[in-house]
A and B are shown apart, each in its own frame.
Chain A
Amino acid sequence: MLSLWPLLSSLVCLAAVTYAKSSTGDSVLVVLDQSLKRDNFSIFFNGLEERGYDLTFRTPKDVQPAVIADDHPQYSHVILFAPESKSYSSDITPQSLVTLLSKNTNLLIALSSKQTPLTSLASEFSLILPPPGTPLVSHFPERDTPATVIPVNVAPGSVLSSDLPPVWFSGVPFAFGSSPLLVPFLNAPPESFAADSDRDNGADAIFDAAEKGGEGLWAGSSLGLVAGFQTRSGSRATWVGGIDIFSDEFATKELANGVKPGNQQFVAEVAAWTFQESNVLRIDEVTHHRVNETLTGEQYTINDRVVFAMRVSKFNPLSSTWEPYSEIADMQLEFTMLDPHIRTMLQPVEGDPGRYSVEFRIPDRHGVFKFVVDFKRRGWSFLESTTVVPVVPPRHDQYPRFLSPAWPYYAGAISTSIGFVLFSALWLAGDSQEPKKSKSAKSD
């Protein structure tokens, strides 16, 4: 009998690897269009369930279960796969979606070339959609799928794995505004463009649309197809240009060289980022004290040497715990009173995982200062910490006591004291010298 242990251990490992939890909760509401079937997206949804999420399905027009009730989000994450619905029930409006984001609920939203209330919401996220009815079209590479079904190379970035095979995509592109909160995941191929024609004689229309001014032509690799948005409150929203990228059909359609496409892994990683599993950081502890002390000072004096230390953890979705994280190389600390007086790098401490500390000298201005840590990088959650601390000028007895230029004065004062005692001694103890004859008269 062959040993079963390798098989068992590999199964356990597989289960451990596939079980990944979000740092904000497991309940997911999937708003699925009436015309879409859950089975067409079984690979994606089953993948989510295997990772430990609870999926609840409803159509856009259903009133129950509500996405938000009494200003409280009912689910930790919301997937909006309703790209062609023109109307939703009253709990899904652009305003309610923004409220959800501000209450730390993550969103995954799919668009299509039809105009819906969500297309106007996309512009709030600094995404500029093409005119309605113009899906992404690419004649390159030569292939046997329609021009709207496009294999797209996944460029290496900081969030997704670096060796993903090309993914099949069908939908609309969007142009990026300048907001730094956007995290592009998938950019359009350079030869692609948005067009509403399906015959060669549509070429004139394309040229005229480009000449018309305004945004011109949606074309090239500066367009995005899948983009994430990290809000300042910590929640994440991902916009996907088409829903077919999640479908089973695209996940199993072979690429030109017979290779399996990266759709399944790509959408799983995008969902992991969106649901705050990956690249999530938090600050555990902030301390500050004078260099040779351990207690936090209530106030500091100017020119004091202080140590500022911070503990940072990263969420590990596989074990669902927060683990100390020391790999941030460029975190900065600002010591601010209205403007930063000092900005220095917060270095990770060797031998103490998760701890970052820096030692510096407090400026020689007194006032109310703040230790400010504001760490924002694309693709990562934001770290923000502000600690207010008063800085006072030295007390009257904190100045140097004895100064070398004062030695003459010390000498003078001591000299006077000695002189006084000597004089008193001399006067009291002394005898006035009489002339010889009176002395001799005295000696009688």
Chain B
Amino acid sequence: MVRPILSLTLAVLAAAEVYASTLALQTPRYSLKSPDATEPRSEVLKLGQETLDLTLGPSDTLKLTFQVIEETEGKGVQPHQTFLRFYDEISGEEGIQPVRVTAGGKAKFELNMARPPASLPPTSTNPLKVTLLLGSFTHSPAKFELFNLRLPESQSPPQHSEEASFHPLPEIVHTFRPEQRIPAPAASAFFAAFVFWPWFVLLGLWSFLEPRIPHLFSPYIFPFIGTLGAFEVLLFWYWVDLKLGDVLLYGSVLGAVTALAGKQALAKTAEWRLGRK
């Protein structure tokens, strides 16, 4: 139990001593080169002030040079970790690119958009925040925000085939067949009324002829006319409401009655005709 504590304390003390010196950047410079421009000027990268905004085209090259030094002695060192972190704050995409540093602390990084490194994250119109991370086992770590970089848009990263089903999918509404178009009811009503025009002709002619129906209410004739009317009523009822079975039942009963009445009526009219003759 004592040993781990002791070794931990020693480690802490040792670390505390060594973590005195910080890493710093000396002469950080950058240069942007387009393929059509002349020799680019190398500019000094001012850190700690307002962040610089750089934009790279599809065939531009960005060159970054700096030297990593120990702040207290000014000596060049090679830290364990020298990474450039490209981070898109809005979409959360991130890419880490290690930078090769010589034993004397000199580092050079070139970003050629014609052949972009695989470590660049997928880009859109959002700017990438570029940070330099310096980490070491023997010095205090340091983080420098270099600049905001706008790169040409890349293809979005490939998604799993099922990714879409983990989010709400677009709504689908069924397009129904349009309702059948029917002509205006007024037109149908007009033509329904029009159907009755022969009746006017008939009634007109009848008024001219003045036919006589003296035997209408005779007990031989009237039942038959009544059953004929009943048949029409049955037919209308069938059309409106009744089912076939019922109609056949009622119809067969009515038919028997009609046959009897009809026989009687016809016999009577025959009698009258013969009698008149």
Interface residues of A (CB under 8 A from B): 138-142, 144, 146-147, 178-180, 190-191, 193, 195, 197-204, 206-207, 210, 213, 216-217, 219-222, 303, 330, 332, 334, 340-345, 361, 363-364, 374, 376-378, 403-408, 410-412, 414-415, 417-418, 420-421, 424-426, 428-431, 433, 442
Contacts and interface: CB of A to CB of B under 8 A. Distances in A.
B188 to A, nearest CB: 4
B3 interface: no
Interface of B: 11-12, 15-16, 19, 77-83, 85, 87, 93-101, 118-119, 133, 135-138, 140-141, 143, 158-160, 162-163, 165-166, 168-174, 176-177, 182-183, 185, 188-189, 191-196, 199, 211-216, 218, 221-222, 224-225, 228-229, 232, 235-236, 265, 269, 276
B101 A203 contact: yes
B138 A200 contact: yes
A199 B168 contact: no
Contacts of A147: 135, 137
A199 B169 contact: no
Contact of B213 (A191, A376, A429): A429
Contact of B214 (A198, A345, A431): A431
A198 B87 CA distance: 27
Contacts of A199: 80, 137
Nearest to A427: B269
A42 B182 CA distance: 82
Contacts of A219: 83, 96, 98
A431 B215 CA distance: 8
A410 B192 contact: yes
Nearest to B101: A203
Given A203-B79, A376-B166, A404-B182, 5 more contacts: A138-B135, A206-B81, A222-B93, A364-B177, A426-B211
B16 A144 contact: yes
17 contacts: A139-B81, A142-B141, A190-B85, A197-B80, A210-B119, A213-B118, A217-B96, A219-B96, A219-B98, A342-B174, A343-B170, A415-B199, A420-B232, A424-B224, A425-B216, A430-B211, A433-B211
A178 B81 contact: no
Contact of A190 (B80, B94, B140): B94
A139 B141 contact: yes
Contacts of A340: 172
Contact of A415 (B11, B77, B100, B196): B196
Contacts of A202: 80
Contacts of B221: 428-429
Contacts of A361: 174, 176
Contact of A140 (B77, B79, B135, B169): B135
A225 to B, nearest CB: 15
A290 B191 CA distance: 39
Given A142-B140, A407-B189, A417-B235, A201 B78 contact: yes
Nearest to B273: A432
A147 B119 CA distance: 24
Contacts of A342: 172-174
B265 A344 contact: no
A52 to B, nearest CB: 32
A334 B172 CA distance: 9
Contacts of B169: 332, 343
B81 A203 contact: yes
User: Chain B CB within 10 Å — which of A139, A193, A210, A433 has the most?
Assistant: A139
A139 B191 contact: no
A187 to B, nearest CB: 10
Contacts of A217: 96, 98, 119
B247 to A, nearest CB: 15
Contacts of B182: 403-405
B195 A207 contact: no
B188 A425 contact: no
A139 to B, nearest CB: 3
Contacts of A190: 85, 87, 94
Given A220-B85, A411-B192, A178 B98 contact: no
A200 B182 CA distance: 88
A216 B83 CA distance: 13
Contacts of B135: 138-140, 147, 191
B12 A200 contact: no
Given A203-B79, A403-B182, A407-B188, A216 B176 contact: no
A22 to B, nearest CB: 24
A178 B160 contact: yes
Nearest to B173: A342
A377 B199 contact: no
A378 B225 contact: no
A204 B191 CA distance: 98
10 closest cross-chain pairs (CB), A and B: A139-B135, A429-B216, A219-B96, A407-B192, A178-B160, A343-B172, A411-B192, A139-B141, A408-B191, A363-B174
Nearest to B160: A178
A414 B191 CA distance: 14
B200 to A, nearest CB: 12
Given A405-B182, A407-B192, A430 B213 contact: yes
B118 to A, nearest CB: 6
B98 A220 contact: no
B191 to A, nearest CB: 4
B276 A404 contact: no
A332 B172 CA distance: 11
Contacts of A344: 171-172
A387 B85 CA distance: 51
Contacts of B196: 411, 415
Contact of A178 (B87, B118, B138, B158): B158
A248 to B, nearest CB: 13
A412 B163 CA distance: 65
A29 to B, nearest CB: 30
Contacts of A424: 224-225, 228
Nearest to B15: A144
Contacts of B118: 213, 216
